Chains A and B, each alone.
Chain A
Amino acid sequence: MSSKLLREHDSLMKSLITTAKKDRAYVVARLHRRDYYSALRRNHKLDQTEVSQDSGLGLYVFTMRGHVAFGSTNNLTTDSVQSLYKELLAAARTNEELGIGQAKEIYELKPQANLGEDALHYQHLSLLDYDLGALPPLMEKLEKFITDLNPAINVSIATDIEQDQWRIMRSDGTDVDFSVPKVRVRTAVLTLQTKAGSAQARLRYSAPTLADLETQLVDAETSIRETVSDLERQITAKSVTPGSPAMILDAALVGMIAHEALGHPAESDLVISHNSVLGDSKGHFKKGQKIAATSVNVFDHEANLTHGFHPYGAFGNVRKPVAIVKNGVLSESISDVFSANKTGVPNKNCERSEGYWAPAVPRMSNTYVEVTDHQPIGGDKSTIAAEQAQATLRASGTFKKHPSVLFIRQMTGGQVNPANGSFMFGTAFVDELTDKSITARKPVSFSGSVLAALTSISFAAGDVDTTDFGYCGKSSQTAHVTSGGNALVFLEPNSEVTVA
């Protein structure tokens, strides 16, 4: 079965592969089309909309000995593509003469069959077939919902629709394609300024279709009410005392630990270049090292059409699930064919590119912590998050050992130094919980050592929630990702994990 998408470039691709064959060169040709629509609402009205369309080709050219050059163009004519190919072939041959830029592992990739045009791999919809006029009323409705709760809150909302189509072809006959649609409230900024102080929060939602996004916003009404309440409480809240308290985190923050603190160091290009705390001095992944309790697992995989989904790696083979930590032990790396063997892990085809112009590097998709033997969440679904956390801690007897626990939720961004394993996350809301009270605090910076945070996990409650999504930056590229974990995860105090 061959691809269904981007067939208008068939003759261009055919001539490229034919030419490469004559030159005894091997090509990986990645066609990519992005259609994008954004709408911005500010000062109570639709302020601006924008449409963007771009198509291009990202091309790897390998010599028979595996020396490589990469290039791209969005001038998709046969002449332009052939000209690019010739320049890249010359560069690859020069690299061969110089003995540099070798990546012969490309020849280890087996030809990939097309997975087919099912709903998971083929959600192609022309941008203009979306009901673009439905986004402005959706934003208006969201703003009204928020300002009805508190008219003093200033709301600005950015929404977008992004449709990516990929077609990846190789000299070995591989021809695969997929399309991933995203309809998002990219960010809704809620700003509350009063005489007593100021606070700001951000909401975000992502879905594959407009109808799904509308449903998500309805389902989110309870949490939006909580966010508004949290904003109001934060105005007069006091700061926490810096230190290393007992903490309970929500799925979003646990997801940040999974993504920033474990996922990045697990990327095999960082392991092999000695820039990962999860790699040894020989550039091998520290497979087999125990780094957490037996009940703690960390995975990277997305099986559904969500923000981090992409079924094939950027070189065209099926992306496989990764068990970074299994039963508390380091197991697999986020790897690709070029670094898997060298780091001592299996190849999972985890390479990604932001667009046709970008070289592929190992990236995450959906990274989450799953603590087995987790407890049920305390309280019921209608109670607010802080009360649920308090009930969970009470039910587990935690308050007897730790009379005060910080409940930290929603992250505002994170960064990790994969080389030394230190992380820093910004957080949105904090409550100090005791058996009898819930007291709002100012947001904290949550930082420390990756491995210390993982070993501090003592128990979890609730099922895994991976709805939090974001934009991960690496090598000057952005990857769409999701992350998460059990609904609540408790961390014992650890001097290497701090809040301030």
Chain B
Amino acid sequence: MQPAAQIARYNDALKKHADVTRFRLFLSEQQAIDVGFTKQTVVGIYQPATQNQHIVLNYAIELADGRIAYGKTHPASSDPKMLINLAKTTAAPSEEPLILSPATSADPLPPLISTPGRPNGLLPALTKQASALRTALLATKAKSFEGELSAIYSNSAYLDSNGLTLESEAIRFAGRYEVNGALETSFSTRQADTVTPVLLERVAGLTDFGNALEASPTVLKKKRLPIFLANGTDLVDTFLLSQLAGNSILDGSSRFKTEDFTKHTAVAHAGFNLPFDQTRPMHQHSIRFDGQGLTGQKYDLIKDGKLTEPFCDLKSATRLGFSPRIGESSSRVALTDLPDFADISTETDSFILAFHALGVHTQNKFLGTYSLPCADSLYFEKGKLVGPVSPVITGNFFDVLKDKKTCLVRHPLFSAPMLTFVTDLTV
């Protein structure tokens, strides 16, 4: 039974029930296929050939007494009467009525699947592709590697007491591998049979970097250098993005206040932007709608270095006076016209190329200070590789953001943008 049909019976019962004033329902059905591989094998016991099926009904029900119940259940193990009884038992008082999405059924939604319907034969297809990737990586003689390929098909429906109905069918193919516990690359797309060729193309480049890291360590004499950091968006997410959520501003756990957004406080240099576009057809980062019935949109969190708006769910948007948005969990999906690593690095006399800063999420995001070991890094002078280094980068990220040399750049080996910035070093 299609999701829309499954939640229709709940819709009918809730609309008629005397104790229910408003509601939102979101039903999502998902099938995920995963195939893992390591140097030792394809589909070993720790990364078996996996097929997962999952269905969940998310609900928000406002009762006549003003209390609201939020929850998740399985539509087959529950029926409308049980759901309403559960809501009555668990609902809590609310400051405001249940807020419903401002979207309309006529809002344009991006297509997220080229051929409707759950695809068949994915498990053997992905197993074959994983074998090909493993064969290519074996030829590099890497000390270790592991990775996986996946395909996620989802089918969901939303409806609410305002009559808004939305449906979505989507598919996403993804893959990643990590070499020697240090060099990781990943790719995702909505097109079948695209992931493995892209990942195969990157094997040679990553192998070159891996070999370079095995050379004798170089002594770094400089105490301050530009760095290109492959997981640099983790810094943006930890120090910045996590503090731009409407709920963090509401409860005072963010260093930013409402007025920082209304007055557009500068948090970065004028060339730094964080825009998002969730509306691109067939794009891997596009979203049709979420569990609150919000549809995907284009919006800026930071424009020309200034805060524009927090990303708010329906509740925090109402309380703070901003537009509700489907929030993003990572800046790596930010849409931005990025310069290429090759162009920026040739303009830089000496720099460090770091593949991973360890422990970004442990840093004090409130203060902005960071001290992060970058064990797997390479040092370049005048465009030439000098050798491997293992610096600890230190500083305050809010100062880094204000430096006009800080920007996101594209690198052909990584799907997520790198972050380049000038930083102090402890070596």
Which residues of A line the B interface, CB within 8 A?
37, 39, 42-43, 45-56, 60, 68-77, 80, 84, 87-88, 91-92, 94-95, 98, 100-103, 105, 128, 132, 136, 154, 156, 189, 191, 193, 198-200, 239, 242, 269, 272-275, 338, 357, 359, 361, 411-420, 422-426, 442-445, 447, 475, 498, 500
Residue of B nearest to A425 (CB): B362
Interface members, chain B 110-146 (any A CB < 8 Å): 123-124, 127, 131, 143-144, 146
A101-B181 in contact (CB<8A): no
CA gap between A172 and B40 in the complex, in Å: 28
B51-A71 in contact (CB<8A): yes
Residue of B nearest to A412 (CB): B362
B54-A417 in contact (CB<8A): no
Binary flags per residue of B23-49, CB closer than 8 Å to A gives 1, else 0: 000000000000000111111111111
CA gap between A91 and B92 in the complex, in Å: 47
Contact A422 B373, CB 8 Å, known A49-B90, A443-B364, A445-B359: yes
Contact A274 B144, CB 8 Å, known A46-B92, A101-B43: yes
Interface members, chain B 218-249 (any A CB < 8 Å): 247
Pairs across A and B, CB under 8 Å, 11 listed: A48-B68, A54-B72, A54-B74, A69-B43, A74-B74, A136-B92, A357-B54, A426-B359, A445-B372, A498-B392, A500-B392
Contact A445 B251, CB 8 Å, known A51-B70, A75-B76: no
Interface members, chain B 371-402 (any A CB < 8 Å): 371-373, 375, 392, 394
CA gap between A281 and B318 in the complex, in Å: 58
B40 surroundings in chain A (CB, below 8 A): 272-273
7 other A-B residue contacts (CB within 8 Å) besides A50-B71, A273-B40: A87-B123, A94-B127, A101-B49, A275-B146, A359-B50, A424-B373, A445-B362
CA gap between A287 and B427 in the complex, in Å: 32
A415-B362 in contact (CB<8A): yes
B358 adjacent to chain A (CB < 8 Å): yes
A274-B392 in contact (CB<8A): no
Chain A nearest CB, measured from B71 CB (Å):
4
CA gap between A53 and B77 in the complex, in Å: 10
Chain B nearest CB, measured from A274 CB (Å):
4
B359-A424 in contact (CB<8A): yes
CA gap between A136 and B94 in the complex, in Å: 13
Chain B nearest CB, measured from A358 CB (Å):
9
A359 surroundings in chain B (CB, below 8 A): 45-48, 50
Binary flags per residue of B54-80, CB closer than 8 Å to A gives 1, else 0: 111000000000001111111011000
A94-B363 in contact (CB<8A): no
Chain A nearest CB, measured from B249 CB (Å):
11
Which residues of B line the A interface, CB within 8 A?
38-56, 68-74, 76-77, 86, 89-95, 123-124, 127, 131, 143-144, 146, 180-182, 247, 250-253, 255, 315, 356, 358-364, 366-367, 369-373, 375, 392, 394, 426
B123-A91 in contact (CB<8A): yes
B54 surroundings in chain A (CB, below 8 A): 56, 72-74, 357
CA gap between A424 and B73 in the complex, in Å: 39
B250-A42 in contact (CB<8A): yes
B69 surroundings in chain A (CB, below 8 A): 49, 51
A422-B50 in contact (CB<8A): no
Chain A nearest CB, measured from B222 CB (Å):
16
A132 surroundings in chain B (CB, below 8 A): 90
A91 surroundings in chain B (CB, below 8 A): 49, 51, 123-124, 127
Partner of B359, one of A56, A269, A338, A413: A413
B91 surroundings in chain A (CB, below 8 A): 49
A39 surroundings in chain B (CB, below 8 A): 92
B253-A156 in contact (CB<8A): yes
B51-A60 in contact (CB<8A): no
Partner of B181, one of A239, A269, A417: A417
CA gap between A72 and B72 in the complex, in Å: 19
Q: Which of B49, B375, B426 gathers the greatest number of chain A CB atoms within 10 Å? A: B49
Partner of B38, one of A46, A76, A273: A273
B49-A70 in contact (CB<8A): yes
Partner of B366, one of A80, A191, A423: A191
